Amino acid sequence: MLSHLRNSVLCLGAVALLGASAAFSGCSSSTSTSGPVTLTVVNSQPQGGVKTIRYTQGQTADITVKSTTAEEIHIHGYDLHQGVPANGTVHFRFTANTQGTFIIELEKDSRQIAFLQVFPK
Ligand SMILES: [Cu+2]
């Protein structure tokens, strides 16, 4: 979990230096725009790599996680936990009030599956 946090800090530092929101695109292998997002986890690995899900403060975050194995999904920052059964789906829906960059992970494995980024209004 510590290494994940360190990556997150490095990512934010690069953005601060460049001072452009476009710089965020360089922080992860792939990104998603705001709106409903589905993350697919195959054998405890995020399909397509670690994505960044972005919302603006006050928006409704709508995140679905599908997994081939039973897992516990943890959204840091908002501290939301939900179990997903093997070959099941779990759905998170919440207001993205807290700004920052947070890790979404498979709690038991401490394996990151995505970043959640919430930008100020
Ligand atoms: Cu966690």
pLDDT (tens digit, 9 = 90+) per residue, 62-74? 999 999 999 999 9
Residue 8 pLDDT > 90 = no
Question: Residue 104 above 80 pLDDT?
Answer: yes
Q: Residue 113 is part of a domain; what is its CATH number?
A: 2.60.40.420
Within a domain: 59: yes
Q: How far is the CA of 17 from the centre of ligand 1 (A)?
A: 28
Residue 77 located in a structural domain: yes
pLDDT value for 10: 43
56: pLDDT strictly greater than 50: yes
Domain that holds residue 45: 30-119
Of 75, 69, 27, nearest to 51 by C-alpha is 27
Average pLDDT for 47-67: 96
- Number of domains forming the structure of the chain: 1
H helices then E strands: how many in the chain?
1, 10
Q: Are 93 and 30 in contact (CB under 8 A)?
A: no
For residue 112, report the distance from its CA to the centre of ligand 1, in Å.
9
Residue 5 domain-assigned?
no
Determine the pLDDT at residue 33. Answer: 58
